[in-house]
Amino acid sequence: MAARFNLVDFGAGTWRAGFLLFARDITYRPGNAGDFTIPAFLRGLRSEDTFAAAMQQDSVLEMDAAVFASTIGQATPRRYDRAVVGGQSFSVEEWRGAPNDAQPVFFKLLVRGGQQ
């Protein structure tokens, strides 16, 4: 049987490199574990974002799943973790992987807040 080709796995390196063209360093605070600096970018919520509890003032924070796990030391984001982006503080409400399986390339976090 021939090896199976998976576009996500094949393109992950290229997509991660493209992601870094848009990302800036942010501060991520998991629970009470201290501050970590990781590349991410904050954007507005779009109609194709599927988060059950999304509200109009929410935003989406996108980050590389592998960088997150190796830097933060936890496999996935957690609700109520904090992210500081451009001097504004956000709380993680929900998250999902992209692709949303056991090996995501990126994490998309629904974040709420914006005040310090």
**Residue-wise pLDDT tens digits, 64-100:** 999 999 999 999 999 999 999 999 999 999 999 999 9
Q: Is the peptide bond before 77 cis (omega within 30 degrees of 0)?
A: no
Given a cut of 80, is residue 49 above it in pLDDT? no
pLDDT at residue 115, as a whole number: 67
Model pTM score: 0.86
Higher pLDDT, residue 51 or 43: 43
Contact 60, 49 (CB under 8 A): yes
Domain boundaries, the chain: 13-115
Contacts with 31 (C-beta within 8 Å, 6 or more apart), sequence order: 78, 80, 81
How many Å apart are CA 52 and CA 59, to the nearest integer? 13
Q: End-to-end distance of the chain based on CA atoms, in angstroms?
A: 56
Given this model, what pLDDT does residue 1 score?
Answer: 65
What is the per-residue pLDDT for 80? 95
The fold for domain 13-115 equals Thrombin, subunit H (2.40.10)
